[in-house]
Amino acid sequence: MGFTVEVKESDGLRSLHFGSAWMQGAMRIDRPFELAFEYTRVMMAALLLREGDFPRRVLQIGLGAGSQTKFLYKHRPAAHLTVVEIEPRVVQTARESFCLPDDPARLEVVVGDGVDFVYQTGHRFDLIMVDGFNDHSHPGDLNTLPFYRACRERLSEQGILAVNLIGLSDGVKGGFAFIESAFEQRAVRFPRCASGNTIAFAATGASVDFTIEELQARAAREDAGLALSLMLDRLATLPGCEDGRLRL
């Protein structure tokens, strides 16, 4: 790819850049396993949507600075994590500058195209997280109906898909319409983050049905620095959530 991979530091924050001021990921230097950005914490709301020891198998498309990978590595020690990153320099930088763990037994890092991986893998995953962008902050073929349909096929019976829709949520529905179609309307967009990111979730298998109060209590029990209270309070403004429940 024709861009530079840069690491910058300011006020205790180390950030990853693809040759521009736009951050592709960041880490608090004194708290390397903490989620520094709101949108990454909102993506981790996926952990609240299933009961029990969820997830056991995770697929993450797009590594960036490894924030979400490290969070799951720390807070879901029984989970096996597979991360697909198309740019080898990003993997090297995450290891050298962002404390990405070297633990092949629990964390498999694949250098390759995330779309191709989803189409070709024979594995199923409890959680698929899509957070991949090029140097123009565009997801390319990750944001297509065939890709989201393939994600659905690769999910387990308890499966949850989480997608970062930055730049794709304007207009009527943007890229979210593909997710709705692929999952037969079992999808929801959380309110937009201050950064402009909009996180979408979709589900397979057993229904998801929680009151907002239940989700707040589950987030508090996580005790993992998710800080989702304000975002969860805003769920009542979503279409279909006016009765104080989130259903997928």
Instruction: Cite the active site residues.
Output: 131
| Cα 140 to Cα 143: distance, rounded to the nearest angstrom | 6
Residue with tokens 């304000």: 230
Beta bridge partners of 164: 199
What does the buried/exposed string (b/e) look like for 152-164 if buried means 16 or more CB atoms within 10 Å of the residue's CB? Answer: bebbbebbbbbbb
Dihedral of CA atoms 28, 30, 34, 40 in degrees, nearest 10, equals: 0
**Could you count the other beta carbons within 10 Å of the beta carbon of residue 229?**
12
Provide the 8-state DSSP code for 112. Answer: S
Q: Which long-range contacts (CB under 8 A, 24 or more apart) does 238-245 make?
A: 238/188, 238/189, 238/190, 238/191, 240/188, 241/188, 241/212, 244/211, 244/212, 244/213, 245/209, 245/210, 245/211, 245/212
